[in-house]
Amino acid sequence: MARRYRAAIIGHTGRGNYGHGLDVALVGLPGVEIVAVADPDEAGRLAAQARTGAHRAYADYREMLTRERPSLAVIAPRWAGEHVAMAIAAAEVEAHLLIEKPLAASLTQADAILAAAGRAGVKVAVAHQTRLHPATLHAGRLVQEGAIGRLRLVRAFGKMDHRG
């Protein structure tokens, strides 16, 4: 029997919305049931519930985590200011974490998140999807194989628009 995961999504529409569609990252995945979404902003909460098909919606993510006890928690706010508290709360209910970038505002905060995850025995993934883009992986292979010679300089560009 395939494992089933109970997922909960934490957002904060009033502080930057949900990062890069992270609220819908699990929608339709086999074995994943989106049980709840949390957002203190009522309009944002209801919109996220409709987008994700979450069964329930909460104003307070702490209440959601305590009641729902998800096995996966998506921490979707674009701004890192609340990531530490959200991640620690999710780890305390033993939920694995998918966190919008940046992980944290400082190395000390990142260490706090990783320590909480370590204590709970849960995994942390940060939404840096470009690391797995086929072109990025191909370039990495070429460098490792020595196919393009000794690497002396890399110039990389982001999205090349207002977001970059």
Q: What is the pLDDT of residue 51?
A: 93
Q: What is the pLDDT of residues 142-160, one digit of tens each?
A: 989 999 888 888 777 666 6
How much is the pLDDT for 69? 98
55 contacts 80 by C-beta, under 8 angstroms: no
Look at strands 96-99 and 72-75 and give their pairing.
parallel
9: part of which helix (H) or strand (E)? strand 5-10
| Residue pointed to by tokens 């074995």 | 31
List, for residues 109-131, the tens digit of each pLDDT value: 999 999 999 999 999 999 876 76
Residue 94, by phi and psi: left (phi above 0), alpha (psi -120 to 50) or beta? left
Check residue 159 and give its pLDDT: 64
Kindly tell me if the per-residue pLDDT of 62 is higher than 90: yes
Q: pLDDT digits over 76-104, tens only?
A: 998 888 999 999 999 999 999 999 988 99
Which pTM was predicted? 0.80
Residue 163 has pLDDT above 70, yes or no: no
